[in-house]
Structures are given as C-alpha cells and as structure tokens.
Amino acid sequence: MTGDALQARPVGNRGAPSSFLLRYGSQMGIIGVGFAMWLAFVAAAPRVFMDIDIYRAFAETTPLFGIVALSLTFVVITGEIDLSFPSVMALGTAAFCLVTAYGGAPWWVGIICGLGTGVLCGLVNGFLVASLNIPSLVITIGTGFLFRGLELVLMNGTGVPMTAEQYPEMHALLREPLFGFPVQTLWMVAILIAEWILLNRTQFGAHVFLTGDNSTSARLMGVNVGRVKIKAFVLVGVTAVFSGMMSSIYGYYFWPSTGDGSLLNTIASVFLGGTSVFGGTGSVVGTFVAAFIIGAINAGIVSAGVNAFYTQLAFGLVIVISVVLQTLIDRRIRRQSLTGR
C-alpha cells in the first residue's frame, strides 16, 4: 500500500516500506502533476491564470463533482466501483423537491428526506454487491438506470425552480460566499477533513484498506467485508445527494438530467488522485487535488487558445500517465515489501 493506506495498516505490518517517498509517493506525484500543469497554463494564458476570477470559478464548480469523488475513493479502495451516483444525485434532489416544493415541508425536512434517499440507494447497491456477490461494475449500471427512471417517473420529466426567494436558507448554506470565499469549496474541505479522519484514523478506514488489499485475509482477521462495502456505498449515496442539491442550488433550478456529465470527471479524479484500480490503495487528499486538476484542464485549454475538442485528449493523457505511474510505484512498493530493500 502507499500514501494514506500505510497509515491505516494494522500494527502487525510495521515491516512495510516507511520511507517518505514510498509513503507519500502518490500524493507527491499528483501534486507535482498539478503544479506542472498550472505553470503550463500560466505560460500559455497568463492574463487568465493570473486573475483571481478563474480560481473563484474553480472553487465554485469543482466541488459539484469533487465531493462525490472523495466518497467514491472509499468504494474504489475496497475493490469496487459505483457508476450509479449521477442518478442518485438526481433522485435524492427530486425527493427534496417533492417534499418541499410540492409537499410544503420545511427545507430541513427536505434535506433529511433527500439524504435518506441517498442512504437507501447506497444500501441497495451495497447489498447487491456485498451480499449477492454481483460485480459492482455491472449492477451499478443497472441501478443507475433504475434510479434515473424512478426519478423521471416521480418528477414526470419536469424540473423545479430553486431560486434564493424560494430557498433562502439553502442558498445561504450551499451557494452564498462565506467571508468572500466560495462556500462550495469550504464544504468540500470540511468533507475532506472528515473523510480523511474516517479513512486514516478509524477502524472502519483500516477495514476499507484491508478489504481492498485482500478480502480473504480480511475475513480471516474478523473483518465483516460485506458490511464494510455496504457502508462505503452508503457514503457515496449520501454525498451524491448532497452534491446534487448543491448543483441545483448553484444553477437555480433542478433539472431531471441532474448528474449527467459528472460521471467521467468524478471517476477521473479518483484514479488520477492515486487510488489504485486494483483496490487496497488510495488517498482522499490525492482525489481532492486531482478534482481541481480535472476542473482546470478544460478552462486551461480554452484559455490557451486551443480547440476545446482537445479537452478529452488531455483528460485521457493525464489519466493514462497517472495510472501507469501509479502502477509502477505500486510494483516497486510491493517488491520492496517482499525483499525488505
């Protein structure tokens, strides 16, 4: 394991590599990529990237998918994947709108119902994956269609305005700047801190790493692997709904298509941030940095005067290079773990 994973390993693994480079190689790598990319953007478009407005825009829009990416890191570390979260974003926000706009309930009741919907979606995904041993890649595609279809039926394909006049408290919580700083990023930082503690300083976090590293060994050590995976899916469900409500408040309107377009950015942030595609290794800090890199690529390419069609090419290159480097680092760590050198 690398990065935060080493901090969460059981005491019996003290023989693992302990050098700074091996412990924090993934995080250092992604920070280095981000810094190099920033220098390139500054050189190509200095007027844009020396202006505070571009960073304010990043701080407002990146958390709309970055918050989900932080939680998705837990699922990927366990060796699973969740492709249904865009639909959960819409379904949970639809539950909020049905309770408040149509039901007349207070906004805080709507939040509880929305987040509760996210919990139920996570439980469904987690149960199907952990209890029935259905591959998460397949089943979350199916539940994604299921949740989206349910949302469209409930809303009859229509949207709901979410203006400041209708939801002043929600705008104060999720949209209005706090002391001049975008509140979206403040929420993302708060969730980052909470999930970093959860992943690296709790028994649940240690079990997440153990499950992804070797589920058979984890079971022999007394870890309830199924329960760990279910909790990870529930975490994604809750933050997906929160992100969906934040996106709708940011856009002043809940669209039935809420969540569409966030899938690739979110998954790219997780893998670019150093979380292993094989499970057992990952870092929410790396995901946090990677989310802002993903958010900056499109603006950087357009600002540099390059055709916007090159955006996906840049995404692909960055992700492929990151995964290759991460695999090489992981192999080196495992080799040194076995040889002790």
Nearest to 290, CA basis, from 321, 260, 247? 321
Domain spans in the chain, listed from the N-terminal domain onward: 4-12+33-331
List of residues 6+ apart from 64 with CB closer than 8 A: 184, 243, 246, 247, 250, 262
Sign of the Cα pseudo-torsion (40, 265, 238, 128, in order): negative
Q: What is the pLDDT of residue 257?
A: 93
Q: Are 258 and 90 in contact (CB under 8 A)?
A: yes
Q: Cα separation of 151 and 248, whole Å?
A: 15
At 263-272, the pLDDT tens digits run 988 998 998 8
Q: How many CA atoms lie within 13 A of 213 on its CB side?
A: 23
Q: Cα separation of 128 and 133, whole Å?
A: 7
What is the value of pTM for the model shown?
Answer: 0.88
At 174-215, the pLDDT tens digits run 999 988 899 999 999 999 999 999 999 999 999 999 999 999
DSSP structure class, residue 181: B
Q: 306 burial class (0-12, 13-18, 19+ CB within 10 angstroms)?
A: middle
Identify the helix (H) or strand (E) that includes residue 254.
strand 253-254
Kindly tell me if the per-residue pLDDT of 338 is higher than 90.
no
User: Which amino acid, residue 298?
Assistant: N
Q: Cα separation of 318 and 230, whole Å?
A: 31
CATH architecture label of 4-12+33-331: Orthogonal Bundle (1.10)
Q: What is the pLDDT of residue 340?
A: 62
Q: 191 burial class (0-12, 13-18, 19+ CB within 10 angstroms)?
A: buried
Q: 204 burial class (0-12, 13-18, 19+ CB within 10 angstroms)?
A: middle
Kindly tell me if the per-residue pLDDT of 161 is higher than 70.
yes
Structure-derived torsion over alpha carbons of residues 234, 239, 241, 244, reported in degrees to the nearest 10: -150
The band of 3, judged by pLDDT with boundaries at 50, 70 and 90, is very low
Q: What is the pLDDT of residue 130?
A: 93
List of residues 6+ apart from 75 with CB closer than 8 A: 81, 82, 136, 229, 232, 233, 235, 236
Structure-derived torsion over alpha carbons of residues 250, 188, 293, 211, reported in degrees to the nearest 10: -130
Q: Where are the alpha helices (DSSP H) in 130-202?
A: 136-155, 168-174, 183-200
User: Which amino acid, residue 28?
Assistant: M
The band of 5, judged by pLDDT with boundaries at 50, 70 and 90, is very low
Q: 104 burial class (0-12, 13-18, 19+ CB within 10 angstroms)?
A: exposed
